[in-house]
Structure 1
Amino acid sequence: MLKKSDMIAMALGVVLGAAATVPAFAAGGGGDPPPPPTCAKGQVYSAKKNACVKAERGALPDEEMTQYAYALAKQDRFQEALNMLDLLENPNTPKALNYRGFATRKLGHTEEGISYYLKSVALDPNYAQVREYLGEAYVIQGKLDLANSQLATIKTICGTGCEEYEDLARAIEDSKL
C-alpha cells in the first residue's frame, strides 16, 4: 500500500511533467517537427549523420529537405530556401509548393508566390498553413475579400483557435489600421 507522501509525490510528478510539455508543444507550431539545426550556405543538416553535409539532390529524403528549406526561410534566408527546394526529387508536394510560395513572396514576388500557393491548395485543399500564407499574400495586395475567404476556409479546417486562423486574422486586422 502506498503512503500518502508517495501518492503526493507521484501526483506532483504527473502534474509537473504535463506542465513541462505544454510550452514545448505550443512552441512547436501545432505539431510541426522542431526545426533542424541550420548549416552554412550550400550545406544541409542530416539528422542521420548528425552533421551538415553538402546540399545536393538525394542528400536527404525530400521531407527532410523540405523542412530544412522552411527553416532557412523562417531565418530570412529565402534564396537559400529556394535553392534547397530546387534539389527535391519531387518538388510538387503541398508543403514544398507552400514553402516555395512563402520564400518567393518574402523576396517580394507576391504574384509568383500566390501561383505556388494555389498549386499547393489544388493538391491539398485542407492544408491550413498554405491558406494562411495565401491569405497573407492577398492582404499584401489589398485584396481583403480574398484574404477573408481564406480565413473562412481555415475556420472550417481547424477552427478559430488554431495558429493559422489567428495569424491571418491578425494580418487582416492590422492591414485596416
Structure 2
Amino acid sequence: MRTLLLSAALILPAAAFAASSDDSSEPATTETTTECTDGMVWSDDAQACVAPEDSSMNDDRRYRAVRELAHAGRYDDALRVLAAMSDPQDDRVLTYLGFIHRQQGETELGFAYYRKAIAANPDNLLARSYMGQGFVDEGRLQEAYAQLVEIRTRGGAGGWPEVALRRAIETGVTTSY
C-alpha cells in the first residue's frame, strides 16, 4: 500500500501539470490556420475570421491563436497577433517572440526574449524549454540540461516542456513549435 501511495505521489504532480497547462501539448488546429489568412484569427463569437485587435478576442484567445500560428510556421501572422496583445511584456508574449525570432534564425534575439520571459515569470516552463532547445541547436548541452533541471524543479516533470527538452537533449532534434 505504501508503495502504491508513493507511486501515486510521484506521478500525480506531473499529470496535474499536463492536464492543467495550455502549454502541455501541441496546439489544436482550428479555423485560425485552416480558414483564416493575412494575420486574421478565428472568432468563435463571430463565427468568422477577424483581425486580432477585434473586440471579440481577448488575450487568452489571442495567445491560443499565436501558439497555433507559430506551430504552423506562420510567423508573420503570429507576430501580428502578438502585437495586438494588451501587455507586450506578458511572459507569454515574450516567450513566443523568442520562439519566432529563434525559428527565423535570430537566435540571440530569441534568447533575449526568453530571458525576459523567465525574469517576468521564473515558472514559465515553455520559455525554459524553448530556450533549452535553442541551446541544443547550438551544441550548448550543459546550458540545455540546466533548463531541464529548472523545469523539473518547478513541477514540470512529465509535461510537454520537459518531455520536448529531454528528447532534444537525448536526440539533438528540437521541436518546430
TM-score bracket for the superposition, by shorter chain length: 0.7 to 0.9
- Counterpart of 1:129, as a letter, is L
Higher relative contact order (CA 8 A, sep 6+): 2
Does residue 99 of the first structure (1) align with residue 96 of the second (2)?
Answer: yes
5+ long unaligned stretches in structure 1: 1-24
* 107 and 82 in structure 1: CA distance in 2 versus 1, 3 angstrom threshold: same
Tell me how far apart the structure 2 counterparts of residues 91 and 67 of structure 1 sit (CA, whole Å).
16
Q: Which residue of 2 aligns with 1:143?
A: 140
Mapping for residues 34-113 of structure 1, pairs under 5 Å: 34=28, 36-38=30-32, 39-56=36-53, 60-113=57-110
Contact kept, 8 Å, 1:46 with 1:52, in 2: the verdict is yes
Are 1:57 and 1:88, in contact at CA under 8 Å, matched by a contact in 2? no
Letter in 1 for 2:138: Q
Identity of matched residues, %: 33
- Pair 58,159 (structure 1): closer, same or farther in 2 beyond 3 Å: closer
Mapped to 1, the partners of 2:95 and 2:30 lie a distance apart of 18
Q: After superposing the two structures, state which structure 1 stretch, 89-98 or 29-38, moved more.
A: 29-38
Inter-partner Cα distance in structure 2 for 1:115 and 1:59: 32
Partner of 1:130: 127
State the distance in 2 between where 1:96 and 1:57 align: 18
Larger radius of gyration: 1
Q: Which residue of 2 aligns with 1:154?
A: 151
Q: Offset at 1:102?
A: 1.0
Give the length in aligned residue pairs: 150
- Once the two structures are superposed, what CA deviation does each residue of 1:70-128 show, in whole Å capped at 9, x if it has no partner? 21000011121112211222111111111111111111111111111111101111121
Judged with a 3 Å threshold, the aligned counterparts in structure 2 of structure 1 residues 79 and 33 are, in CA distance, closer, same or farther, namely closer
| CA distance in 1: counterparts of 2:39 and 2:164, whole angstroms | 32
Gaps of 5+ in 2: 1-18
